Every structure is written in C-alpha cells, then in structure tokens.
Structure 1
Amino acid sequence: MAHRPNPGPGAREALELLSSVDAPALADACRRDRATAITARFMALVAARYGVAPECVVPTVGTHQGITQALFALARPGDHAIVERPAFEPLHRVPETLGLSVSRLERRFEDQWRPLSDRLARLLTPKTRAVILSNLHNPSGVAIETAELEAIAEMAARVGAQVFVDEVYLDFDFGADGKPWRPAAVAIDNGLSASSMTKVFGLSSVRVGWLVTRDPDVAEALRHANAYFHVTPPLPSLVLANAALERAEALEALARTHSARGRALVDAWLEGESRLRWVPPSAGQTGLLELPPLTPDPVFCEHLRGRFDTQLVPGSLFEAPGFVRLSYNLPPAELERALGHISAALDELAP
C-alpha cells in the first residue's frame, strides 16, 4: 500500500535463506551443459508440490509469460476464451492480442465474488478453448472452493476447454489442511495451474514461474511452445528458484505470518470504518474495498497518493470501478499509518 515499491512479504528473509547460493554456483549455471540437470531439478521440486509427475511441469519466465505460452499452445486465432471479471488485465488482454474472441464471466460483490457456474454455462461455445480464472481471485483475495471449481471444470470439459487458473496468491495457503480449495491441477482433470516465485516466495526479480497440468498431451504442447518463448529457461534464475523451493515450508510460513499480522490490523480498522465494505479475503495479502457511493476510485487514489503519500490500486484497473485494491503486507507501524491516511482521505473526499 505504501508509495514506494513493495518487495513482497518476507523478501528480506527470503534473500537471507538463499544466501547459501554463492556466485560460483550461479556462474556454473550459465553453462549450457548444465541446463538439463538444473531444469530437471526445478520440475521435480514443483511436481512434488502438486503431486504430479515432473513431466507435467513446464517452466515459464514468470506467470505473465505463462498465460501467453498456455494460450499460444492451446488455442488459435478465432477460437474462444472465457475470462473472469474483475480480472488482472493480462488475463483478458493476452487472449485478445492472440486473436481469440473473449467473453466475460462476471464475479460480483453481491455474490461474494464467486464465479457462478450457471453464468458460465451461458457463455460456453463449441469453440471455447479456455476458461481463465484466478485463485485466490485477484483483486479480491476470495478463493474458488473445490466444489465450485469442479462444476466449472465439468462444464468446460463438455466443449473440450481447459480451465486455466492464475494461482500466484493461492500459494499463501497452498496445501493447507482442512481448507475447501485446492490448485486446479490437483482438483480437476482439465485444470492448468500457473504460479511463480513472485508473491509468497518474495522473489519477483528472478522471473521464474511454472505451468502444471495432469494431462500429458497438454504438457507436451506447452513444452513445444517453449521454442517460441525462451528455448532454455534462465538457468541462474532456476538455481535461485530451486533453492527457494527446497525451503518452501519456511518461506511460506514467513509469508503467512506477514499477511496474518497485516490482516488483523485491517480487520480491526474496518470495524471502526463504516464507510468501506469488503468481502473478507480467504487468504493472501490483498482485498477489494468498496468506496462510498459517488466516490470515483481513480480520483480517490490520486488524492490519497498526492496528499498522504499512500497508494491503493484503483479498482478500475481490474474493471471494478468504485472499488480499490488494498495490500496489507507492510510492517505494522507503516500499515497502521497508511490505514489512517485512507480514513483521512475519506474525510476530505467522500460525499
């Protein structure tokens, strides 16, 4: 939420945990003859997280490229995709850029941001190749429960479509016992999970991500697409990613500690801030706040930044006008100060 760039929850601790990766190891990773071993280790580590064979894992250069690579492999110009709304912009811009026709699956505040399967049924066509979602939902932080995902997958399978799910925030509760949500590649046969080192692991600068599917034919198509994107993954980055994945439990625990601490502060603040509403996020580090009526979100965010040096993301950037996305992974004192600034800005701007 702060004006200055946010390195992500636990980023400092993540770098400390990776200190065992020395310069000679990174230099050695630059040798092309090391590519097979380094990539195989990465695929094995990711596969173990999802309980799939390593051959079902495809490395990507971050989740942004993963979206493009998946649609490049699985669809052709003139095919059809269904994309949630509100949405992280690349989820709908990428299929549009690749020449797909795009329909939108509305996720509404009054429905707790759930992607209702009856709406999906009215959008599917014989040319639908992908249903594109995020879980946790970006921007609201609301999870798609497994029963809902299964209903979506069953409908998509009738027309031969894959269910592509951006799961970069789901890693905050990855494999959590007793939680009613699971990764798409684990929960459904036609699920395609996409994630990266960016959020929970706090390592956005390494630009490493992955795609996971249980379908060997889909995995093979995704691997063939590598030749058009990166051929060989960035090997020094994979070395760092491997070190992080080997310490995944510790890094995930750090991320959950940071987000839980921030979430408690936001919950306490909202109890006394009646002008704002949200659907409580299921997990993660972000939520979507509804502003008071007649308060334009871009104007509010511009005022907040200029007057109080505090930043929220306008909901309009996610096609959710009248809302703002709040990230609460800041140090407690800084977060409390920022929440006070939001209330002060409401005093000055809200009707």
Structure 2
Amino acid sequence: MFPDIDYLDWITGRPEAATHDLGSSDLRRAVPEPDGIVPPKLADLPSPPDDLDLETIIADAYDVGTENVLVTAGATHANFVAMAAALGGKGDGAGETDGGDDRPPRALIEKPGYEPLVATPEGLGATVDRFRRPAEDDYGLDPGRVEAAMSDGTRCIVVTNRHNPSGSRASRETMAEASRAAADNDAILLVDEVYAPFCADEASVFGGPTAAMLPNTVITNSMTKYLGFGPIRVGWLVADADFVSRAQSVMFHVPAISAPGMALTRRALYAETELAEGSRDRIEENRELLAEFVEERDDISGAVPSGCTYGFFSHESADGDEVSEAAWEEGILVVPGRFFDDGDSFRLSLGLDNETVRAGLDAFGDVLDDIGE
C-alpha cells in the first residue's frame, strides 16, 4: 500500500494560485497556448537528424553507451523504477533477499530529505532507515555516515545531489566514496541529479557533477528542473547495462511515456547548449538575489550555496509552518520544512525570472517584518 505523500498533496495547485512563487525550484519556461503542443522556446530550434534517437543523445551527454540509458516519464518515474529494480534484488521477488531470505529489503535515505524519496520505497515494501546530513555540517554528504547506517538488508541507498532541500553539492569524489560503501554491501546507490546542473561552471553533464557509471550506482535526471520543461514529463536513468535491463522489466508494469514528449525532448537535448546558457544566466541572477536577501536579514539564518537558486532556512522566532502560513496569507508560496524532516525550517526556491522573484522577495520581506513585530 503506497502511503500518502503529504508534500505533493500540499503543493498541488499552489504555484498557479500564488501571487508570488518562492516555492517552485524548476527554471520554468513559457508553456504552449491551450491548444498547442510545442513550448515556445522549442518552436524555432532545429530538430536533430532522423537517425539520432533520444537514447543516443542522452548517452553521448554522459559518455556512456545506449545500453546504459533508460528513458522514463520524468524523474519521479525514474526514481520509482530504479528503487523497484534495486529493492527487488537480482531477479528475486521484492520481499526476498538473494539466497532465499524472506526478510523485507531495506532502503537507506538521507535526512533531511525529499518526502517522496522516503514514501516510494515504503510503498514498495521496504523498511526505510535514515542517515543524517546535519545542518551543522552544511548538509554535506558524509560517506562515513552512509556506511555506518547500512545493515545486511540494505539494498538501496538514496541521495540527492544537489541536496534537496539545502542545495549542498557533493563532488564526484565524494559520490565515489559513497558508491564504494554501497558496493561493499552489495547495495545500489541511487543519486537523484535533477539539481546537479544548478551551477555557473561547465564541469560535466549540463554543467554539474554526475555520479554516472560509478560502481553500483544509478543516476536519475529529467527535463523539469534545469531545462525548465516540466510539462513534457520525460526523464531518464543511467546505470550499468544489467541494472538497466532490470529497470526495463519494471517499466513494463508502468508504461507512461508519450511519443510527442520523446520528440520534444530530442529537440531540447539536441539544443541543450543554447538552452543551458539561459538557465545559467537565471541561476546566477537569482542566486545573487537570494544571497543578498538572506544576508540583509537578521531574523533568518541559513546558507545560500554557490551557483544555487534555493536553500533551507530558519527564522529566529517562528517555525517553518508559521512562516509558510503567514506568507500564504499574502499569496506568497514558501515550502515548510516539515516536508523535508525539519519542522523548524523552510525552503526558498527562486525558479522564475529575475524580476518576478525580486518582487516576491520584497513581499516576503514584509511578511517576515510582520512576524517579528
């Protein structure tokens, strides 16, 4: 039985209803007219050659083979498929470990963390354990904490990079240490990389670090966050060929990818360099706005990571729900930290254009002033 996901219940409809959206983290682009299909930004971009399929475009971006790529209906779909494949073991049923042990599999998830990444393995029948990414360590990923929290039944370890909700970014070297810990326990490390490209440099895939093709590792990503085409609903996972084959078997149970979505994704990723320039400009502008806003206020605390448009913050006298509710009364969307395992905090996400989020921060500043009175 899949548990309710309180965050998705709470957030549904709010971005559209908000006067100021400081809760949505995707770098959103204009959508088609009501009867349209093609997002305006894609309308005038060149189409890739007919013989260049989507799997090849993604594989080339990660410098892997097409046998290492599985296209999915977004990152949530990719995470579901990856967890199901990891928790099911190597060809065994989801409730059986290799060798006939009938104990339920275990998933190890970061804390604080994104609620759906906890709810999904629970729905798949796993026992969920947690390891900490503490605020006092700037929410950094510590492979030693991962290793210490594993048990014999751990089959899947789930992290986000950048970390959601803090924006903390782990290097590939750190991810390699975590992957070795997973491999030593015969577990799979699942790295949700939807925020990895949120940066100003061009270090790797889409500008950010990737854990792709580290041992016992599967990464997921999508069109939604960095490229800003959430309505297309296409994502992917990258892993070794054996894991991709297992994940494909899961996909047969949940087919959900549209041909138009695949075609639009081909066009977008073929022109990724051009699209990424706009994304990086917005990241740099909005990150500067967020950093200035936090620095100028004495009543909130929290780090604004370099090259990142979102962060996790706390107020000196109000918890996350109190801040979020006060903001919502003024039409401002701010996400309370209880959806990320920390009720004292809240997440600010500046995904929209620079002028829009500037107005939102000004309005939110007035809300914080009222809270302090």
Q: TM-score range by the shorter chain?
A: 0.7 to 0.9
C-alpha distance in structure 2 between counterparts of 1:191 and 1:283, whole Å? 25
C-alpha distance in structure 2 between counterparts of 1:174 and 1:344, whole Å? 30
Match of 2:117 in 1: 91
TM superposition score normalised by structure 1:
0.87
Deviations 1:198-228 (A, max 9, x none): 1111111111110001x22111111121111
Letter in structure 1 aligned against 2:111: R
Letter in structure 1 aligned against 2:142: L
The alignment status of 1:182 with 2:205, answered yes or no, reads no
C-alpha distance in structure 1 between counterparts of 2:318 and 2:191, whole Å? 32
Aligned length: 332
Match of 1:217 in 2: 242
The share of aligned pairs that are identical, in percent, is 25
C-alpha distance in structure 1 between counterparts of 2:28 and 2:77, whole Å? 24
Match of 1:29 in 2: none
Kept in 1, the 8 Å contact 2:314–2:346? The answer is yes
RMSD: 2.6
TM superposition score normalised by structure 2:
0.82
SS at match of 1:211: strand
Match of 1:296 in 2: 319
Distance 1:114 1:328, change over 3 A: same
Residue 271 (structure 1) aligned to one of 295, 303, 322: 295
C-alpha distance in structure 1 between counterparts of 2:307 and 2:167, whole Å? 6
Residue 361 (structure 2) aligned to one of 336, 339, 346: 339
Kept in 2, the 8 Å contact 1:129–1:162? The answer is yes
The offset of 1:99, in angstroms, is 0.7
Deviations 1:292-344 (A, max 9, x none): 1x4121121111111x3211111111112211111123333332232222222
SS at match of 2:155: strand
Kept in 1, the 8 Å contact 2:143–2:178? The answer is yes
The offset of 1:280, in angstroms, is 2.3
The answer to which structure has the higher helix fraction is 1
Kept in 2, the 8 Å contact 1:105–1:115? The answer is no
Residue 12 (structure 1) aligned to one of 30, 44, 66: 30
Match of 1:196 in 2: 222
Distance 1:310 1:86, change over 3 A: same
SS at match of 1:228: coil
C-alpha distance in structure 1 between counterparts of 2:170 and 2:224, whole Å? 21
Letter in structure 2 aligned against 1:86: P
Distance 1:240 1:178, change over 3 A: closer
The offset of 1:53, in angstroms, is 0.1
Residue 141 (structure 1) aligned to one of 167, 170, 179: 167
Q: Mean alpha-carbon deviation: is it higher for 267-276 or for 220-229? A: 267-276
C-alpha distance in structure 2 between counterparts of 1:196 and 1:349, whole Å? 37
Residue 62 (structure 2) aligned to one of 14, 37, 50: 50
Q: Which aligned pairs between 1:220-299 and structure 2 lie closer than 5 A?
A: 220-230=245-255, 233-292=257-316, 294-299=317-322
C-alpha distance in structure 1 between counterparts of 2:109 and 2:173, whole Å? 19
Q: Which runs of 5+ in 1 are unaligned?
A: 26-36
Letter in structure 1 aligned against 2:209: R
Q: Which runs of 5+ in 2 are unaligned?
A: 1-14, 32-37, 88-93, 96-103
